[in-house]
Structure 1
Amino acid sequence: MARVNHGGICFTLQGYAPAQEDQAEVLADGVLDLEEPVVEQDELWDLEEPLEVAPLDSFHVEIRKFPLLTPEEEKMLAKKIQEEGDREAFERFVLGNLRLVIACAKKAKERVGQDQSILSFMDLVQEGIIGLMIAVSRFDYKKGTRFSTYGVPWIYQRMKVALLQHRRGMSVPGYAGLSARAYAEQVRAFKSGERLELPDGVDLDRIRSLAVISDVALSIDFADGDEQGSFSVSPEALKGNSAVGYEETDPEEVLERTFFRDEFLSLLRKELSCDEYDILCRRFGLGNYTSPHKLSDIAEAYGKSSEYIRGVVNGVIKKLKESNLLKMFCQTWGVA
């Protein structure tokens, strides 16, 4: 464990790594550019009575002392870190990307809601810095990507784990909900006939216990209702299942799904034509559509038959399943 202190900002590098450490290449191009005005130091004090300086204001003042890194500086510092283990280069790289953590924390707090988590904004910043340090230690400059593209998933991952662990005022291991979902997927595959037998180690009693601990409502008896072997996917069949449905009540789960959905839609717009994208969004209630549309309603809007729309939807799904870019994206976000 290494500790670095700069101007009252202390960083601790822990040996934590998110599940999707192998691939973190695919992400939306834009990252919030945080350059909000900061209260000047002499404005923070009254002539008669001193005012308490908010931690966030103090943090803003501190990070503005460290300029952003240029692409050339990123490569130079990353090379020193990777080839020489240079600690000073590591510290400079981290300090030059603190604005990225602030941007991610603001977006996370907006998504989860100000009053929906016991974690404060600065708590999220603290967790994000840990994720940033992990990303810096693993960044490969030889792949030609900017660090922000690689680092954002690591920052969000650390924030997500913290939100999961402190969702009820006490620390609940993040593995509880994740393990419950992973086990339940095995049970679903067995019940649907995709697996002939449950793998060793899948304990139904343990699934139920983990689900209670993490407050995860999982439907082990899930069935999609489609004909066996049918390629068609019905959003109506998914809606009633709490693990994949549309009714989301847990703030942290909403946060995670929202991050993924925003980046996923950005990828779809790049991969599909305008009509394909719109039809898919209508059918599954994505983007600007808040609920799934029936095939007949979409067909009426386009002046086509329902079978034509069904063919478009199935064709798009097949196209996406064969997309290497989509596979890499899903692996990056740990849903492959």
Structure 2
Amino acid sequence: MARRQSSAAKQNDGMTTLLTGEEADDFFAGTLEQQESESDFADGGATTEPIDGEVAAEPREVEEDSVRIYLREIARHKLLTGREEIELARRIKAGDAVAKRKLIQSNLRLVVSIAKRYRHHGLGLQDLVQEGSLGLMRAVEKFDPERGNKFSTYATWWIRQAVTRAIANKARTIRVPVHMNEVLNKLRKSNTALCQELGRVPTPDELSEASGVSREKVLLAYDSSRSPLSLDSACGDDSDATLADVIQDETALAPDEATAANLMVTHVLDSLVCLSTEERELLSFRYGLTGRTPMSLEESGRNMGLTKEQARNLEVRALNKLRRGVNSNMREYLR
């Protein structure tokens, strides 16, 4: 992470913070071991274990190495006492950029500590640390040393807000509102606890009772937590076809229905031979025959140079002729 231009360390003027080398290793080990047991809420809190002999995924190894390097770098900066934080905050209010950088650097471990709690919520740890670092910078700018609050307590709120909003905005293909993400987090915790207690996936009613969330919201959360499937996804291992190629278009007519519709149009047009040219033209305007857009009597008459009353009389005469001359083919559609 520290070597990437997009990392929090590079973005924020080379910001890095505290720990000795040994402490960094211990802290990193704790970070990796304390992984959330809640995987995806939609899977009911189940976790997946690697198969024996399976090689670890390369992106995970790269991320862990990057985090280890980052922790070693932030270990160079010592923790601040409350008095030092207040002094730096006062200097920051006076426009001291050096004091601002020092306060940020000395609290980057807090960012990592908070970010690791959300590492299984759709964003990688590197991205979470970057977002949390932006929240830390905001906290440094907004902190008022004269109110008697501890900076770490104040900064925790800003860091957590930045991380959770990033998850809400960036972790999913379809954005889930922030308030729904808060409900999802609450349900994940209840879901994990119930899975351990019951030894199975809890029902929506059990989850609702344990979390205090209504059953309707629990069901909505289930739907919100599902990941969308791309229509460009491969349909099979040995096929170039995609899901879009094989999923039925429910708005389109089936082949037999399309054939029947075309045949009906043909029979309707054939039945118009008993009408005069003027009558056929009026019905064509009035009912949208031959692909036209249906029109009102007034519009149809205007196109033909007729008044509305003349158009009505012409329509009545044409329809009466059609009723008298309905053939056997048309009777099939009038049952």
Fold in common (TM above 0.5): no
Question: What TM-score results when the alignment is normalised by the length of structure 2?
Answer: 0.39
Say which structure is richer in helix.
Answer: 2
